[in-house]
Amino acid sequence: MLISLRHKFIFVANEKTGSTSLEAALCNYSDINIVRTEWGKHSHLAAIERQFGWIFDVIPKEEFLIFGVVREPFDWLASQYHSHQDQKFARYGHEYAGDMTSDEFIEIWCDRNPKSSVPQNQRFLSATGEIGTNFLIKFENMNEQFDLVARYLELPQIFLPRINASPQHARPFNPGPASLRLIRERYALDYGLHHSAGRFVGSAETRGPLAQQAAPRPVSQGSSPPRLSEDEVVWGYRIILGRDPESRRVVEEHRAHASLEVLRNVLLASREYRMRKVGKDAPQG
């Protein structure tokens, strides 16, 4: 986790997404560097806002570029699996995956290690419960999009070193059908977050020398192309409302939402969700 008051950026470190490399590249431009896990390197954005909220009394939050890196969920889990096969984790017991199959990793290890296996989108939620970053780098486009961030912040060209890579001879990640379904369900919102990464959003869309370069191209007047995929809408329904959308027309209507956060807020505000929550919260017996 890095904070720069001079250059007005906050870097939220996600696990297994090259955060160590980014921290090494940006440390000289940062005023607050927390680069050890036990000290809060991978703190969620909401926790950063609570711990360092005083900085927004000095510089308005809207002036910061808040960014991180997001990885395709299957690839992210594979990296976690490979990384935790390293013998260095054997001394921690529950963190070691060297003797686990891919299915055991998904079904057992992830439950034992919720801090490491929590969906990536939760790491980027602000204190208000919405995605608080205004730029997310796609892991597979790291060099190109990191360069875009550096130029946005008007920093000189920075070399991005390769550090802390997963073991090369780890057991392959080959989960079975049941585990694949579980991954798709548990990390549905991460698939959408990864799909929409690589562009400036919120206050960053119109601020900075290169904001427009990464922003989506404007569409002609009267045109309203879908912004969300069918899968994102369907899985949003399944996760929040516990069911599939009632019709294809409803799916298409929700695909027009500007972001997954908007879809989430719409579903959470629905009467159906509120009635389900009342039912769950009612005293039993």
Last residue of a domain, one of 163, 189, 211: 211
Tell which wins on pLDDT, 232 or 219. 232
pLDDT bin (cut points 50, 70, 90) of residue 113 is very high
- Asked whether residue 152 falls in the same domain as residue 53, the answer is yes
- Asked whether residue 207 falls in the same domain as residue 186, the answer is yes
Encode pLDDT of 267-283 as tens digits: 887 777 777 766 554 44
Last residue of a domain, one of 211, 241, 262: 211
Q: What is the mean pLDDT of residues 246-256?
A: 84
- Asked whether residue 173 falls in the same domain as residue 202, the answer is yes
Query: Cα(204)–Cα(212) distance, rounded to whole angstroms?
Result: 9
At 222 the pLDDT is 39
- Asked whether residue 127 falls in the same domain as residue 241, the answer is no
Give the number of domains in the chain. 2
Which tokens belong to 238?
């399944």
Q: Is the pLDDT of residue 214 over 50?
A: no
At 227 the pLDDT is 72
Is residue 218 one of the residues assigned to a domain?
no
When the pLDDT of each residue in the chain is averaged and rounded to a whole number, the result is 85
Is residue 72 one of the residues assigned to a domain?
yes
What is the secondary structure of the chain as a DSSP string? -EEETTTTEEE-PPTTSSHHHHHHHHGGG-SEE---GGGTTT--HHHHHHHTTTHHHHS-GGGSEEEEEE--HHHHHHHHHHHTTSGGGGGGSTT--TT--HHHIIIIIHHH-HHHHS-HHHHTB-TTSSB--SEEEEGGGHHHHHHHHHHHTTPPP------SPPPTTPPP----HHHHHHHHHHTHHHHHHHHH-SS--GGGGSSSTTHHHHSPPPPPTT-----S-HHHHHHHHHHHTSS--S-HHHHHHHHTSSSHHHHHHHHHTSHHHHHHHHHHHSPP-
At 215 the pLDDT is 42
Tell which wins on pLDDT, 111 or 88. 111
- Asked whether residue 57 falls in the same domain as residue 197, the answer is yes
Q: Comparing C-alpha atoms, which of 58, 70, 44 is closest to residue 6?
A: 58
pLDDT bin (cut points 50, 70, 90) of residue 205 is low
The domain in which residue 251 lies consists of: 224-281
- Asked whether residue 134 falls in the same domain as residue 232, the answer is no
At 15 the pLDDT is 94
At 118 the pLDDT is 95
Is residue 116 one of the residues assigned to a domain?
yes
At 282 the pLDDT is 46
Is residue 126 one of the residues assigned to a domain?
yes
- Asked whether residue 55 falls in the same domain as residue 193, the answer is yes
- Asked whether residue 127 falls in the same domain as residue 200, the answer is yes
At 13 the pLDDT is 96
Is residue 216 one of the residues assigned to a domain?
no
- Asked whether residue 160 falls in the same domain as residue 100, the answer is yes
Q: Is the pLDDT of residue 79 over 80?
A: yes
- Asked whether residue 145 falls in the same domain as residue 237, the answer is no
The CATH number linked to 127 is: 3.40.50.300
Q: Is the pLDDT of residue 41 over 80?
A: yes
Q: What is the mean pLDDT of residues 257-270?
A: 77
Q: Is the pLDDT of residue 72 over 50?
A: yes
Is residue 217 one of the residues assigned to a domain?
no
Last residue of a domain, one of 190, 211, 232: 211
Is residue 51 one of the residues assigned to a domain?
yes
Q: Is the pLDDT of residue 234 over 80?
A: yes
At 250 the pLDDT is 85
